[in-house]
Amino acid sequence: MGTHDPVVEALARLGGARPTEDLRMLTSRRAVRAAVAEGAILRVRRGMVRLPMLDEATAAAHDLRGARSHLSAALHHGWEVAAPPSAPMITIPRTAHASARRARIFWSTLSAQELADGVTDPVRTVVDCARTMPFGDALAVADSALRSRRVRTNELIAAAEASPRTGRSKALRVARAADGRAANPFESLLRGIALGVPGLSVVPQVHIGGDEFIGAADLVDVGLGLVIEAESWGYHGDRAAFDRDVRRYTAMVRAGWRVVRFLWHDVRHRPAHVGAVLADLVAVSR
């Protein structure tokens, strides 16, 4: 493992471009400073860092005479993604010929309205991701796009309906499920799993408590009285944050809610297990 691998991996988990403070919570101030000094990650501006692969996507698009698209375009637009691409994602004309050794290539006809400075526009970017990526990953992109307010739900659904037949049903599913209230890609991935569980109907970022506010829950099925939380150590970087969340969960249970908490590793790498747990909770609730 390289010296700066933990910092690079943490930034990749956070979507490839994040405020420096978020990265420090998962690693350390010294490790982040060293990674920047060695060029393992790049400082975009004060308080913001990103992975070098964003520059690689620009260079690859130029060499291939194509456009940055899919996740490469999503990162360019400043959106959070569940995981950055392992190689630049580039769309080139259908008649073009190119080697895929430097990039992941897609062949498609892009209109002038779908491009800006060599990057697919926001709506086209979301639909491209929705047509070609797993549901949870595409949902994370769509949620982030809505959260940025650069894309609206109605235009996203319309674009999905007008997209090519191959992948259209996937694009429509993502467009109809996308929700700008989602807080981050981790929560979007977890919601993507929950949406596939029969009998479970979740809403993101629901405020729990009546006259006495307890807190905002990541995902809630009000009918089942179920709270589903996406647990990241990045938000429990100190004792005060940890204590606050423990008390919040206790208050939710005391108020009659059932609370289940999932780790990033399980949501990302054991989705079938997470789905099975949720299915069991639905069965018990009924």
Q: Per-residue pLDDT tens for 110-158? A: 988 898 888 999 999 999 999 999 999 999 999 999 999 999 999 999 9
Rg (CA), the chain: 20
Residue for token digits 């309906």?
161
Phi and psi at residue 118, in whole multiples of 5°? Answer: 75, 20
Residues 117 and 138 in one domain: yes
Asked whether residue 249 falls in the same domain as residue 267, the answer is yes
Q: What's the distance, Cα to Cα, between the start and end of the chain in Å?
A: 48
Give the range with max mean pLDDT: 48-57, 186-195, 241-250: 186-195
- Is there a single domain that holds both residue 154 and residue 189? no
Measure CA 59 to chain center: 24
CB 142 within 8 A of CB 178: yes
What residues make up the domain containing 137?
Answer: 53-177
- Encode pLDDT of 3-28 as tens digits: 677 888 888 777 677 788 888 878 88
Q: Select from 33, 50, 67 the last residue of a domain.
A: 50
* Confidence class for position 101, pLDDT limits 50, 70, 90: low
273 is written with which tokens?
């297990």
Same domain, 257 and 196: yes
What is the number of structural domains in the chain? 3
Closest CA to 108 of 89, 134, 88: 89
| Residue 172 sits in the same domain as residue 60 | yes
- Give the DSSP H or E segment for 259: strand 258-263
Q: Is residue 140 located within the same domain as residue 256?
A: no
Residues contacting 246, CB < 8 A, separation 6+: none
Tell me the average pLDDT across 51-57.
75
- CB burial of 137-164 (b: ≥16 within 10 Å; e: otherwise) equals bbbbbbbbbbbeebbeeeebbebbeebe
How many CA atoms within 13 Å lie on the side-chain side of 123?
Answer: 18
pLDDT of residue 1: 44
List the structure tokens of 218.
């990541």
Same-domain check for residues 77 and 17: no
pLDDT for the residue numbered 72: 94
Whether residue 195 is predicted with pLDDT greater than 90 in this model: the reply is yes
In this structure, the answer to whether residues 166 and 85 fall within a common structural domain is yes
One domain, residues 170 and 58: yes
b/e map of 42-78 (b: 16 or more CB within 10 Å)?
Answer: beeeeebbbbebbebbbebbeebebbbbbbbbbbbbe
Q: What is the pTM of this model?
A: 0.82
73 and 139: one domain?
A: yes
Residues 72 and 165 in one domain: yes
* CATH number of the structural domain spanning residue 235: 3.40.960
Instruction: Tell me whether strands 89-92 and 104-107 are parallel, antiparallel or unpaired.
Output: parallel
What phi and psi, each to the nearest 5 degrees, are found at residue 67?
-125, 145
Residue with tokens 């969340």: 245
